[in-house]
Chains A and B, each alone.
Chain A
Amino acid sequence: MKRAGVFICWCGQNIAGTVDVAAVREAAAALPGVVHAQDYQYMCSEPGQELIKAASAAHRLDAVVVAACSPAMHETTFRRLVAGCGLNEHQCEIANIREQCSWVHPRGAEATAKAKAIVASMVAKALRDEPLAPISVPVSRRALVIGAGISGMQAALEIAAGGYEVALVEREPYIGGHMTQLSETFPTLDCSQCILTPKTAEVGRHPRIELLVNSKVTALEGYVGNFRATIKRTPAYVDWSKCTGCGLCEEKCPTKLASAFERGLGRTKAISIPFPQAVPHKPTIAAEHCQYLRSGKCGICAKVCPVGAIDFQQGEETVRRDVGAVVVATGYDLFPAAKVGEYGYGELPDVIDGLAFERLNSASGPTSGQIKRPSDGKVPKEVVFIQCVGSRDAEKGYPYCSKICCMYTAKHARLYKHKVHAGQAYVFYMDVRAGGKGYEEFVQRAQEEDGAIYLRGRVAKVFQEGDKVMVWGADTLTGAKVEVAADMVVLATAITPAAGAKDLAQLLKVGTDQYGFFNEAHPKLRPVESLTRGLYLTGCCQAPKDIPDAVSQAGSAASKVLGLFAGKELQHPPTVVRVISEVCQGCGLCVEACAYQARELDTRRKVAVVKEVLCQGCGACAVACPSGATEHKNYAKGQVLSMIDAIQ
């Protein structure tokens, strides 16, 4: 018979305030197999841990039950302690008499009786626990980063700097994400391209970063340390190994179209390099607009290309990469502002969104950085900025704050005033949320130095009157209604998860919140990890955030990947299922029951097998097995029955 020790924690008044710990101790001491029982104020404290250590030596314990808080809190603490005392860590069990007992049962007598039953049950389990050793898993030391915006690039660069290979996948033909569209950045007003291009250039030439643009991840199989990603690469119809990026094809292409990069304010061609600093600096043909690809007529680009790089025969390419870790950095899109019908977006030409204003203000943009309104190219004398378009609007389905709009609107108002000195900026806001280093001061300067008039109140209506865009709102601080005859209106639209993020989440088997932002494992303590081991999150795919936050989160995700790659092998918990092959009939019900692809049928031997590293120990197969051949380690059938028997 094994020798068990029971240690009952008071948790201050949390447990002892309701449960009679002395009575539980006495009852535990009387249980078969228990050679020692003890109670103490705080078992997790150093003196508490010393008690367990001393008792384990004095009574030659080979099973330890700690009756305390939830195993989610301190199971690791006590199992490590027990392992240090010469026992196997799986011979330590936690009896949860706090969350499942003292906290939920107000009456002492009932709580004490339940605590006794919980302890008895866990003692029965501990006496039958077998020592288990962790399962070792080899690691592919290459990372997959999905999305090459500022956050994804930063994560890739840091993992590569740690000495490991990175496959960086980007669906656009260029890297840099939305930051490539910005003119200046808050709160320092430094040029976005100027601070971004050193990074895009470094990513472009880094020997350990494999850049896969025009690409999408279409499948991810496997598990931590051993993922296999399938990546589909849509054709650029240009052989980039030959192309010199001279731009002649774009110059001669006859097909003009509205540029999505310029938010519709500028034109592009069917074959184009999206912007001058693009990495890679190579053109891509937009197949849906190319006359040759649609009708077989034209082909001018192929005729003018001096190196013969145009290749209309190029097809979709499938790339497979074995990776040990995945970083998701799919970023954001903008709320479709046309949903707020009263603001006239999409109908009134001089009502634009924030990203469009960035393009107007950008030296490489459609107006070469001059603020001109889209309708007639006039310099707007009065510009109204409207915050919270979509954000904090439960009716539209976006009750959250998009976090960056207060700051970029202040930036817009300042940049506008710096370019149009006689101009007047009005900002309609609900609250100004400027949390961040130098942020509040920045917003104040917009008002004090650049004379932006901040009006607290949501705009009711925007409509055209002659060549003016009329804005009706309120200044709730004076209680007056406000009418502005503006020349242009800029909407600060909500941040939404990038298009397709939900599909990707399903493919990666990661949860999202109700809006489609990826779920972190813990909102405070594990903010860059997903609930799937080996899969990390960074940037706006997790929640709206600004550049500094996206960059620091990228560093954090990269450090998790580097930590994972630092060990030769990964340790997988050994509490998985096993098959008693003599009993197994090979019916395959377990394969159907498994949600983790961890069960397989060995067709030759006609028995089911377990892929231990995939097994999450949920026990679904053990329940499904009609012959009792599948057994959960340390949750064996006899063991569970003994636990039930122990509850009188």
Chain B
Amino acid sequence: MRLVIDRRSHPLDPDFTALVHSASGQALSLCYQCRKCTAGCPMAHAMDFWPHKLIRLVQLGAQGPALRAHGPWLCAGCGTCSARCPNGLDVSRVMDAVKELAEARGLSRGGRARLFHRIFLDGIRLFGRQHEATLLARYKLSSGNLLGDLVHGLRLAIKGKVPPLPTLLRGRRSVAAIFARTQGGGEG
């Protein structure tokens, strides 16, 4: 069987389904496409493949379209989909697994969202908890988008939401160990 998307024919690879299954820990065969994840997703309006469609691509083993999708990069990780799934699937973990696999295979089309994702994760690796000021500074410098969201940033700073110094978490070494364990293949 082949899937034809945008006039391009894609072969299907059942191994890809198994790979995402093991990377996310989610048995995707349980999904019966009720589409409740998409219905509640706050980012769906901006995605090329909605959450249920992404799951469907993975179910069918459509590796190329799934890994090239930019939908997962827009996932805010709010977990609404996971909370509402009638089959108990953690959809946001599937999103994460797809992102990591796309990264590992160099197929990622995340753009700035991908950059933010990397800096975000790196921040957690460093401090064990996100430090907003470092995150903002690194992202602004890397993306070159220095003035974007300036008003939001000022408002947050006034409210004291952007502490100048990072807190050094006691368990930060354990967090770093998790990163070390999972780094590379993006699996697990």
Q: Mark A residues whose CB is within 8 Å of B.
A: 382, 424, 426, 444, 447-448, 453, 456, 475, 477-485
Contact B57 A478 (CB under 8 A): yes
Of A448, A483, A484, which contacts B29 at CB under 8 A? A448
Separation in Å of the B187 CB from the closest CB of chain A?
Answer: 23
What are 16 A-B residue pairs whose CB atoms fall within 8 Å in the complex? Answer: A447-B32, A456-B33, A475-B60, A477-B33, A477-B52, A477-B56, A478-B49, A478-B56, A480-B3, A480-B5, A480-B10, A481-B5, A482-B2, A482-B3, A484-B2, A485-B1
Knowing A444-B32, A456-B33, say if A478 contacts B2 (CB, 8 Å).
no
Q: Kindly state the separation between the CA atoms of A424 and B13 in the bound complex, as whole angstroms.
A: 13
> Is B158 at the interface (CB under 8 A from chain A)?
no
Q: Kindly state the separation between the CA atoms of A485 and B32 in the bound complex, as whole angstroms.
A: 25
Contact A483 B30 (CB under 8 A): no
Separation in Å of the B10 CB from the closest CB of chain A?
Answer: 8
Question: For residue A448, which residue of chain B has the nearest CB?
Answer: B29
Of B1, B5, B9, B52, which contacts A484 at CB under 8 A? B1
Kindly list 20 other residue pairs between chains A and B, CB separation below 8 angstroms, not including A448-B30, A475-B3, A481-B5. Answer: A382-B1, A424-B1, A447-B29, A447-B32, A475-B60, A477-B52, A477-B53, A477-B56, A478-B3, A478-B5, A478-B53, A478-B57, A479-B53, A480-B4, A480-B62, A481-B4, A482-B3, A483-B1, A483-B2, A484-B2
Residues of B with C-beta under 8 A to A453: 1, 60
Which of B56, B62, B65 has the most chain A CB within a 10 Å cutoff? B56
Contact residues of B: prevailing secondary structure: mixed
Q: Kindly state the separation between the CA atoms of A336 and B112 in the bound complex, as whole angstroms.
A: 57
Residues of A with C-beta under 8 A to B9: 483
Question: For residue B10, which residue of chain A has the nearest CB?
Answer: A480
Q: Kindly state the separation between the CA atoms of A426 and B29 in the bound complex, as whole angstroms.
A: 15
Question: For residue B14, which residue of chain A has the nearest CB?
Answer: A451
* Proximity bits, B9-24, A CB within 8 Å = 1, else 0: 1100000000000000
Contact residues of A: prevailing secondary structure: strand
Residues of B with C-beta under 8 A to A382: 1
Knowing A453-B60, A475-B56, A475-B60, say if A481 contacts B3 (CB, 8 Å).
yes
Residues of A with C-beta under 8 A to B32: 444, 447
Which of A424, A444, A475 has the most chain B CB within a 10 Å cutoff? A475
Residues of B with C-beta under 8 A to A482: 1-4
What range describes how many residues of B lie at the interface? 10 to 19
Q: Kindly state the separation between the CA atoms of A453 and B31 in the bound complex, as whole angstroms.
A: 12
Residues of B with C-beta under 8 A to A480: 3-5, 10, 62, 65
Residues of A with C-beta under 8 A to B56: 475, 477-478
Q: Mark B residues whose CB is within 8 Å of A.
A: 1-5, 9-10, 29-30, 32-33, 49, 52-53, 56-57, 60, 62, 65
Q: Kindly state the separation between the CA atoms of A475 and B32 in the bound complex, as whole angstroms.
A: 14
Question: For residue B27, which residue of chain A has the nearest CB?
Answer: A448
Which of A424, A480, A485 has the most chain B CB within a 10 Å cutoff? A480
Q: Kindly state the separation between the CA atoms of A482 and B30 in the bound complex, as whole angstroms.
A: 22
Contact B4 A479 (CB under 8 A): no
Can you list the 7 inter-chain pairs with the closest CB atoms, starting with the nearest? A481-B4, A480-B3, A484-B1, A477-B56, A448-B29, A480-B5, A478-B56
Question: For residue A444, which residue of chain B has the nearest CB?
Answer: B32
Q: Kindly state the separation between the CA atoms of A90 and B39 in the bound complex, as whole angstroms.
A: 62
Q: Kindly state the separation between the CA atoms of A426 and B2 in the bound complex, as whole angstroms.
A: 12
Residues of A with C-beta under 8 A to B1: 382, 424, 426, 453, 482-485
Q: Kindly state the separation between the CA atoms of A252 and B52 in the bound complex, as whole angstroms.
A: 62
Q: Kindly state the separation between the CA atoms of A485 and B1 in the bound complex, as whole angstroms.
A: 6
Separation in Å of the A486 CB from the closest CB of chain B?
Answer: 9
Residues of A with C-beta under 8 A to B2: 482-484
Question: For residue A384, which residue of chain B has the nearest CB?
Answer: B1
Q: Kindly state the separation between the CA atoms of A482 and B62 in the bound complex, as whole angstroms.
A: 12
Separation in Å of the B93 CB from the closest CB of chain A?
Answer: 19
Residues of A with C-beta under 8 A to B62: 478, 480
Which of B49, B60, B62 has the most chain A CB within a 10 Å cutoff? B60
Q: Kindly state the separation between the CA atoms of A447 and B60 in the bound complex, as whole angstroms.
A: 12
Residues of B with C-beta under 8 A to A456: 33
Residues of A with C-beta under 8 A to B65: 478, 480
Q: Kindly state the separation between the CA atoms of A483 and B4 in the bound complex, as whole angstroms.
A: 8
Residues of B with C-beta under 8 A to A447: 29, 32
Residues of A with C-beta under 8 A to B57: 478
Question: For residue A426, which residue of chain B has the nearest CB?
Answer: B1
Q: Kindly state the separation between the CA atoms of A291 and B9 in the bound complex, as whole angstroms.
A: 57
Q: Kindly state the separation between the CA atoms of A475 and B52 in the bound complex, as whole angstroms.
A: 13
Separation in Å of the A434 CB from the closest CB of chain B?
Answer: 11
Q: Kindly state the separation between the CA atoms of A481 and B56 in the bound complex, as whole angstroms.
A: 13
Residues of B with C-beta under 8 A to A444: 32
Residues of B with C-beta under 8 A to A485: 1
Separation in Å of the A273 CB from the closest CB of chain B?
Answer: 43
Q: Kindly state the separation between the CA atoms of A456 and B3 in the bound complex, as whole angstroms.
A: 13
